[in-house]
Amino acid sequence: MSDHNTLLAAARAARENAHAPYSNFRVGAALRAKSGVVYTGCNVENSTYGLTVCAERVAIFKAISEGERGFDAIAVVTDTDQLTPPCGACRQIIWEFCGDVDIILGNLKGKSETHRTSTLFPKPFDSSFL
């Protein structure tokens, strides 16, 4: 659990860098590679909304762009009472690049819970269909 707390703290800190002038919905993510390195990300909004990038995807793409492969957990932190799971696009990216990992949801009040990707995304599309 302390590993999860470390990831939640990193996601909470990443959230501070969010660029969310339109929705004011700031999200932070922290992705732990099997190497032990933690990659963080925050949401970056665009006035067209369609070009907005979620915190989870920023963290994953940052890790991939740095040559990292193989991940075991990702934490997502928002400032909501009800814990906020990744959107559908992020669930697909998490499945594609991380597989069935722990997804740790947290808020600024210290509430958290952990789910597996397969629980939040029970019938994913992947290369097995190609």
Residue 2 is predicted with a pLDDT of 76
| Strands of the 102-107 sheet, one edge to the other | 38-42, 28-33, 71-78, 102-107, 112-116
Q: Which amino acid is at 28?
A: G
With 0.85 as the threshold, say if the pTM is over it.
Answer: yes
- Show the domains of the chain with their CATH numbers: 2-124 (3.40.140.10)
Q: How far apart are the first and last CA of the chain?
A: 37
CB 126 within 8 A of CB 96: yes
* pLDDT band at 1; cut points 50, 70, 90: low
With tokens 């700031």, the residue in question is 26
Q: State whether the Cα torsion 121-127-128-130 is positive or negative.
A: positive
Contacting residues for 36 by C-beta, under 8 A, at least 6 apart? none
Q: What is the pLDDT of residues 49-102, one digit of tens each?
A: 899 999 999 999 999 999 999 999 999 999 999 999 999 999 999 999 999 999
User: Is 16 annotated in the active site?
Assistant: no
Q: What is the pLDDT of residues 4-54, one digit of tens each?
A: 999 999 999 999 999 999 999 999 999 999 999 999 999 999 999 899 999
Residue 55 is predicted with a pLDDT of 98
Active-site option among 45, 56, 68, 96: 56
